[in-house]
């Protein structure tokens, strides 16, 4: 499939007779369908490019994986991409968690928006980042308030990830 990069969005034109973009959205739950295009975030597009499922073009020049990764690094999104890729490879369906103050919402395999609620909120923290106890408590409180588990993804300087499942408990 061919995607066009513009303003950090990769658009795949849905042409008559072409079912691949629709299947990518409906079966694999990538992106959003808007008008006659499937629009992917740069993170989703990079994942599909790495997996050989998408070719990305910017002004008719084909983008390499390295070029897209450089764009992610320029925007401080590479750590987020590493977590996205790891969770996607583990079979999770991933959607934005912006509404909940987190990076992602996770659905277990076989589920997604419209097929039930997400199971986790993912908050990404870099190993050298100092976190305020009140901020941490607010992450836990929000996830508990919307009946989700909080998955804390700690990313180190080598972009290795350690996950912690955080749950609210009453004393």
Q: What is the pLDDT of residues 52-70, one digit of tens each?
A: 999 999 998 999 999 999 9
How big is the chain, counted in residues?
Answer: 171
DSSP line for 18-70: --HHHHHHHTT--SEEETTEEEEEHHHHHHHHHTTS-EEEETTEEEPHHHHHH
- Specify whether 144 is catalytic: no
- Specify whether 107 is catalytic: yes
Question: Per-residue pLDDT for 35 more than 90?
Answer: no
63 DSSP β-pair partners: 56
**C-alpha to C-alpha distance for 138 and 166, rounded to whole angstroms:** 12
Query: Catalytic pick from 73, 99, 117, 164?
Result: 117
Query: Catalytic pick from 107, 120, 123, 139?
Result: 107
Which domains can be identified in the chain, with CATH numbers? 1-70 (3.40.1170.20), 75-164 (3.40.1350.10)
- Specify whether 148 is catalytic: yes
pTM score, two decimals? Answer: 0.90
24-33, 85-94, 104-113, 122-131: which has the minimum mean pLDDT?
104-113
Over residues 152-156, mean pLDDT: 93
Q: Residue 112: its pLDDT value, please? A: 63
């Amino acid at each position: 499939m061919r995607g066009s990069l513009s303003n950090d969005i990769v658009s795949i034109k849905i042409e008559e007779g072409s079912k691949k973009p629709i299947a990518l959205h409906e079966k694999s739950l990538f992106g959003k369908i808007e008008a006659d295009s499937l629009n992917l975030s740069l993170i989703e597009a990079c994942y599909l490019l790495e997996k050989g499922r998408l070719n990305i073009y910017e002004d008719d020049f084909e983008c390499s994986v390295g070029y897209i990764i450089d764009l992610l690094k320029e925007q401080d999104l590479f750590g987020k991409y590493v977590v996205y890729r790891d969770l996607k490879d583990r079979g999770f369906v991933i959607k934005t968690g912006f509404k909940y103050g987190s990076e992602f919402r996770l659905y277990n395999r076989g589920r997604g928006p419209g097929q039930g609620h997400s199971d986790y909120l993912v908050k990404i923290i870099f190993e050298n980042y100092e976190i305020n106890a009140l901020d941490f408590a607010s992450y836990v409180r929000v996830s508990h308030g919307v009946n989700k588990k909080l998955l804390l993804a700690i990313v180190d300087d080598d972009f290795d990830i350690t996950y912690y499942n955080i749950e609210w408990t009453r004393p």
